[in-house]
A and B are shown apart, each in its own frame.
Chain A
Amino acid sequence: MRKICPSLSFNVSWHYCLVFLYVTFGSLGLIKATILTEYKPSPWGQTQQMAEFDWPPALIGGLLIGTSAALLLAFNGRIAGISGIVGGALGGARDRSWRWVFLIGMLLGGTVYEYGLSAQPTPSSVFSPWAMVIGGFLVGFGTRLGNGCTSGHGVCGLGRLSVRSLAAVVTFLSTAMITVFVMRHVL
């Protein structure tokens, strides 16, 4: 046990935090899946309350994202945080070139998948201009203020076992869930 969180002054070993996160989200998923299969024993696609989904591509996609973050750290010593990369590319960072190259790479990778290997095109969502304008602004401001987004705090921060990142991930995931709940079920 070591003191890792001076400002909140509680002693936790890191691995417990991470195991806790995994167990919480994992069991949530399992519980939901069990309940739903009891209602309807048919495969995922037929259930009313759980969306149709395909886990192997999701998992492989996740592994690729993790591999990308590992490459960037091992070779360049950089954190693959998209909001940080975009912020640096837009603003005052001294070496901006690698950031722009990374962003162009993202577009290339996406294009190779979407137009080269994808079995069916990604469905385009409903055009919602206000959601984009307001949401985009908040994401831009919030990720700079909080020093990271899903990739920087989520993939890389948790990978580094950073308590700050864990706090950020728990905060933005729960806030986002509350926001969607309010927007879809309250308003």
Chain B
Amino acid sequence: MTKMRWQQIGIALIAGILFGFGLGLSQMIDRERVLGFLDVAGTWDPTLLFVLGGAVSVSVVTFQFILRQQQPIFGTTFTLPTRQDIDLPLLGGAVLFGVGWGISGYCPGPGIVGLILGIWNPILFLVSLAAGMLAYQGYINLAKPPVKK
């Protein structure tokens, strides 16, 4: 592997550690906190508001500077979504995700970091999440057969 790839992997490790630490510190790995935030009619828990607010305030400021650069520091191109339109798969996917999030109290990040607690909930959640992702992949492959090379 090239030097640049090793550098990228180093950054991925540091970024992953920060992300996991942040999710732990902000108590998002406790799904009762998340469900408490979503339960606006019950005992409302504002924790998630502070977490998302804090994260978005950093990204909104830093991204403006970062995306003005020609290229990333350890890479050649920014890999960014280019689409701007709001279509049915986007909203349908968001609805399915919202329902699943409301039922389980986990979104993918806390589900993964929740593994360290040594309880069954995150394990089951992740196995099922992987199944859902693979099912989507299967559905796409059925809809559009892959191009033969």
Contacts and interface: CB of A to CB of B under 8 A. Distances in A.
A65 B22 contact: yes
A179 B86 contact: no
A127 B32 CA distance: 12
A174 to B, nearest CB: 7
Contacts of A179: 38, 98-99, 101-103
A100 B85 CA distance: 31
B94 A175 contact: yes
B45 A53 contact: yes
Interface string B15-45: 1111111111111111111011011111111
A12 interface: no
B99 A141 contact: no
A112 B59 contact: no
Interface string A20-58: 001001000100110000000000000011110111011
Given A62-B52, A90-B130, A175-B98, A180 B35 contact: yes
B8 A125 contact: no
Contact of B85 (A60, A155, A164): A164
B108 A149 contact: yes
A159 B67 CA distance: 11
Interface in B53-80: 53-60, 62-63, 66-67, 69, 71-80
A122 B97 contact: no
Interface in A102-142: 102-115, 118, 122-125, 127-129, 131-142
A65 B124 contact: no
Interface residues of A, number: 125
B interface, size bucket? 35 or more
A132 B27 contact: no
A77 B79 contact: yes
Contacts of B22: 60-65, 67-68, 109
Contacts of A1: none
B93 to A, nearest CB: 2
Q: Max chain A CB contacts within 10 Å: which of B24, B72, B74, B87?
A: B24
Contacts of B109: 82, 106, 149-151
Interface in B82-124: 83-87, 89-109, 111-113, 115-117, 119-121, 124
For the complex of A and B, the 5 pairs showing the least CB-CB separation, nearest first, are A105-B16, A146-B93, A140-B132, A62-B54, A61-B26
Interface of A: 4-8, 18, 22, 25, 29, 32-33, 48-51, 53-55, 57-80, 82-83, 86-87, 90-92, 95, 97-99, 101-115, 118, 122-125, 127-129, 131-147, 149-151, 153-164, 167-169, 171-181, 183-185
Interface of B: 5, 7-9, 11-33, 35-36, 38-60, 62-63, 66-67, 69, 71-81, 83-87, 89-109, 111-113, 115-117, 119-121, 124-137
14 contacts: A53-B46, A64-B21, A73-B72, A82-B108, A106-B109, A109-B22, A114-B29, A124-B121, A137-B135, A139-B96, A147-B81, A155-B56, A156-B59, A184-B42
